[in-house]
Structure 1
Amino acid sequence: MFKFLGALLTLAVALVLLIVTWPPLFGLQTTMWVAQVTAMRGLLTACCIAALVLLLFIGIIRPLRGFAGGMAIVMFLAALANGGILLYRGFDQTSLPEPTDQSVTVLSWNTLGTAVNPETIAKLALDSNADIVALPEAPRTHGDAVAGAMKAAGKPMGVYTQTFNSGGAISATTVLVSTRLGKYTQAASNGLGDQNTLVVPSVVLYPANGTGPTIIASHAVSPSKPQMHNWRDDLAWLAAQCDAENVIIAGDFNATLDSIAGMGIGPGATLGRCLDAGLATRSAALGTWPTKLPAFLGAPIDHVFATPVWNFTGMTVHSEFDEAGSDHRPITVRMVPATAD
Structure 2
Amino acid sequence: MNDSAYRVETAPRLAQWRVDAFSSASYRKSDPFRIGLWNWHLTVERNKHLLVKLYPEVSNLTREKPPIASFVIKLVSTSSTNRKTIVHPVIFDKQLKSNDDFVWAVENFFGGRFIIDVEFLDLKIAPPSGGEPSSIWNSYNIEKHSAATALTCFSRMLSEGIHTDIIINATDGSIGAHRAVLATRSPVFQSMFSHNLKEKELSAVNISDMSFEACQAFLNYIYGDFKADEFLTHRLALLRAADKYDISDLKEACHESLSEDIDTKNVLERLQTAHLYRLPRLKSSCMRRFSPPGKLNTKFEFVCVCVCDCVSCVGCC
Give the TM-score normalised by structure 2. Answer: 0.19
> Which structure carries more strand by proportion?
2
Give the TM-score normalised by structure 1. Answer: 0.18
Higher relative contact order (CA 8 A, sep 6+): 1
Which protein is bigger by CA-based radius of gyration? Answer: 2
